[in-house]
Amino acid sequence: MNNVNMELATFGGGCFWCTEAVFQEIKGVVKVVSGYSGGQVPGHPTYREICSGLTGHAEVIQVTFDNQIISYQDLLIVFMTTHDPTTLNRQGADRGTQYRSVIFYHNTKQKEIANAVIGEVKPYYENEIVTQVAALDVFYEAEKEHQNYYRDNPTQGYCSFVIAPKLAKLRTLHASKLANK
């Protein structure tokens, strides 16, 4: 793989355990890191601080991908179709601004593509899309126990009842984008 082809994408779609598990299955994705972004409180926040909802940060993932294998546009389509972009500050039972739907762009081109993809998927949703599109300011890596959560804890209740159905949906909707395991 050529490092010239590597790009970063940063998405928040509810609990980062879910979005991390989804993107770890996509071909062309080299690395997925769970973390926090978009808050107004300076300094590296902790999971407990994020869960309070007081920092303004969202649970996000940062995806390193090879743009020769998968495009940013295709990653966004996966993102927009594997979580509910129509619920404000909520995904399933997870509620609060830390669970908001957000695309943090790294450059102007990503911003333009994000807005175009939202327009492209909009007709498929009954309700209005509330996904925010914002410039990435800073990304804080989450604590070690939040990395590779689904892979390390597949039988944990949340993984079985929340993440596994999202992965089943991914495998149905985006089979052609899956990495060969």
- Told to judge if 159 belongs to the known catalytic residues of this protein, a careful annotator would answer no
Q: How many other C-beta atoms lie within 10 A of the C-beta of residue 153?
A: 15
Cβ proximity of 55 and 100 under 8 Å: no
Dist CA 106 CA 121 (whole Å): 21
Chain centroid to Cα 177, Å, comes to 16
Q: How many other C-beta atoms lie within 10 A of the C-beta of residue 50?
A: 25
Which listed residue (15, 18, 51, 159) is catalytic? 15
Cβ proximity of 117 and 76 under 8 Å: yes
What residues are labeled active site? 15
